[in-house]
């Protein structure tokens, strides 16, 4: 099993990453504040606008450390990668599947089934854990609607219908988010999903979390040799990592949504952790990003019994496990792709 290494987050605008022999050195205003041997890192996520030295970038590329650049509002800007992993035969088969409507539909259906099923499981768990604080009838009604959609998804034969069902399920699921805030803090009231830009504190954290998750899914897919730009559910679009977004669907509710509302309801974040823009958009500020990333690492270090391989793995390794299963299925080592189902 792959070892979960560390991700280095450069959260401040004046952070600069340089190299000293086999170490990556973090500087703030020209002064060294930390250094890390490259052997303990697997990814660098940079929210800094000052940048990274060419020698540090070379060290990362030579050691397969993914370097990603993300804007302050969580939008992906670009990556620096080393040599492409895997063999051409795996990618050729991936492309053949993507070009075949029937074969790609099977992967797409399984991943969206995972997304909706895991969303429903979160609704059920929240209802069980907080039954004295919520509108039980509302949760049960939503459970029933999602259950119906799951049955329809299982029998769907074309992607347009699948996308329609996925959109309906997402709208139903997000309609319950205003009931998931049990903190008593109206700053975390949720109205609707807004993305570019996020327009409230909850959306700011969701967008930030989804962006981090997408980076980790991309790194996992690259590691096993797949092309993260060619997906089965998400269509091709210049610059869009479609396969990464496909994989993200399996983890949204389990890794990000639960995490965000845990931060809210445990009162680990407050309105002081956000930046409110004149245009109405809301972003995590430096303090908020630090809180989010600290708790995110703690979550990734926890163990879970993977339902398919029947082994305990760190939560942070889930994208890698699923990427490996996806590659095995594409190669023909597995008959059917087993998506992540909690």
Q: pLDDT tens digits for 33-59?
A: 888 998 888 778 777 566 788 898 889
Of all residues in the chain, the percent with pLDDT exceeding 70 is 94
Q: Mean pLDDT over all residues of the chain?
A: 89
Tell me how far apart the alpha carbons of residues 215 and 241 are, in angstroms, rounded to a whole number.
Answer: 10
The pLDDT assigned to 49 comes to 60
The residues, any chain, with a CB within 8 Å of residue 210's CB and separated by 6 or more, are 74, 248, 252, 256
Structural tokens at position 242: 């479609």
The pLDDT assigned to 296 comes to 93
The pLDDT assigned to 75 comes to 64
The pLDDT assigned to 170 comes to 96
pTM: 0.84
Asked if 296 and 210 count as a contact pair (C-beta separation under 8 A), the reply is no
Tell me how far apart the alpha carbons of residues 242 and 184 are, in angstroms, rounded to a whole number.
Answer: 38
Tell me how far apart the alpha carbons of residues 246 and 112 are, in angstroms, rounded to a whole number.
Answer: 8
The pLDDT assigned to 139 comes to 93
In the predicted model, what is the mean pLDDT of residues 121-141?
92
Domains of the chain by start residue, with CATH: 6-80 (3.100.10.20), 88-331 (1.20.120.920)
Model confidence pLDDT, tens digit, residues 284-310: 998 999 999 999 999 998 999 998 988
Residue bearing the bigger pLDDT, 56 or 152:
152
Tell me how far apart the alpha carbons of residues 305 and 284 are, in angstroms, rounded to a whole number.
Answer: 32
pLDDT exceeds 70 at position 85: no
Largest CA distance in the chain: 61
Tell me how far apart the alpha carbons of residues 157 and 270 are, in angstroms, rounded to a whole number.
Answer: 45
The pLDDT assigned to 259 comes to 97
User: Which residues contribute to the annotated binding site for Mn(2+)?
Assistant: 166, 234, 249
The pLDDT assigned to 327 comes to 92
The pLDDT assigned to 109 comes to 97
Asked if 86 and 109 count as a contact pair (C-beta separation under 8 A), the reply is no
The residues, any chain, with a CB within 8 Å of residue 2's CB and separated by 6 or more, are 317, 320
The pLDDT assigned to 145 comes to 96
pLDDT exceeds 50 at position 187: yes
Min mean pLDDT across 81-90, 172-181, 240-249 is at 81-90
Residue bearing the bigger pLDDT, 268 or 236:
268
The pLDDT assigned to 5 comes to 63
pLDDT exceeds 90 at position 260: yes
In the predicted model, what is the mean pLDDT of residues 261-280?
93
* Strand-pair partners of 138: none
Model confidence pLDDT, tens digit, residues 303-337: 999 989 888 888 988 998 999 899 999 999 999 99
What's phi and psi for 18, nearest 5 deg? -125, -175
The pLDDT assigned to 1 comes to 47
In the predicted model, what is the mean pLDDT of residues 101-107?
96
The pLDDT assigned to 2 comes to 54
Most confident of 10-24, 75-89, 255-269: 255-269
* Strand-pair partners of 27: 16, 32
The pLDDT assigned to 74 comes to 60
């Amino acid at each position: 099993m792959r070892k979960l290494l560390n991700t280095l987050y450069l959260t401040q605008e004046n952070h600069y990453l340089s190299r000293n022999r086999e170490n990556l050195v973090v500087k703030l205003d020209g002064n060294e504040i930390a250094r890390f041997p490259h052997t303990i890192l697997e990814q660098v996520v940079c929210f800094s606008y000052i940048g990274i030295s060419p020698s540090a970038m070379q060290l990362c590329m030579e050691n397969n450390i993914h370097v990603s650049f993300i804007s302050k509002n969580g939008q992906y800007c670009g990556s620096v990668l080393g040599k492409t992993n895997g063999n051409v035969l795996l990618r050729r088969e991936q492309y053949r599947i993507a070009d075949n409507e029937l074969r790609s539909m099977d992967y797409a259906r399984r991943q969206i089934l995972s997304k909706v099923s895991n969303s429903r499981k979160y609704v059920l768990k929240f209802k069980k854990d907080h039954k004295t604080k919520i509108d039980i009838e509302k949760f049960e009604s939503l459970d029933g609607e999602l259950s119906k959609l799951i049955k329809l998804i299982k029998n769907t034969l074309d992607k347009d219908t699948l996308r329609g069902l996925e959109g309906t399920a997402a709208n139903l699921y997000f309609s319950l988010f205003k009931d998931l805030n049990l903190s008593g803090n109206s700053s975390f009231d949720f109205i609707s999903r807004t993305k570019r830009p996020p327009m409230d504190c909850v959306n700011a954290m969701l967008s930030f979390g989804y962006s981090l998750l997408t980076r980790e899914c991309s790194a996992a897919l690259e590691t096993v040799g797949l092309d993260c730009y060619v997906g089965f559910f998400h269509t091709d679009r210049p610059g869009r990592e479609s396969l990464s977004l496909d994989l993200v669907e399996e983890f949204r509710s389990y890794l990000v949504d639960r995490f965000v509302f845990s931060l809210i309801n445990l009162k680990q974040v407050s309105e002081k952790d956000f930046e409110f823009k004149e245009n109405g958009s809301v972003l995590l500020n430096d303090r908020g990003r630090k809180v989010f990333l600290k708790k995110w690492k703690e979550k990734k270090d926890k163990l879970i019994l993977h339902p398919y391989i029947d082994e305990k793995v760190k939560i942070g390794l889930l994208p890698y496990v699923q990427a490996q299963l996806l590659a095995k299925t594409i190669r023909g080592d597995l008959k059917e792709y087993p998506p992540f189902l909690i």
